[in-house]
Amino acid sequence: MDFYKKIKEYKDQNNITYSKLSTVIDKSPDAFRQALKRKSLSNLEVERLNSKLFDPDKIIENQKTNLTEELNQLALQVIEMDNELKNNKIFNIYIQNKIQKGIIEYLEKEKTGMKTTTKN
Residue-wise pLDDT tens digits, 63-90 = 888 899 999 999 999 999 999 999 999 9
DSSP-based three-state secondary structure for 80: helix
CA dist 87 and 48 (Å) reads 49
Amino acid at 55: D
How far is C-alpha 119 from the geometric centre of its chain's CA atoms?
A: 68
- State the pLDDT confidence band at 117, using cuts at 50, 70 and 90: low
Q: What is the pLDDT of residues 30-74, one digit of tens each?
A: 999 999 999 999 999 999 998 888 888 877 887 888 899 999 999
Phi, psi of 28 (to 5 degrees): -70, 150
CA dist 45 and 28 (Å) reads 13
Tell whether pTM > 0.85. no
- Could you tell me which CATH class the domain 3-89 is placed in? mainly alpha
Phi, psi of 15 (to 5 degrees): 50, 50
- Domain ranges within the chain, ordered by starting residue: 3-89
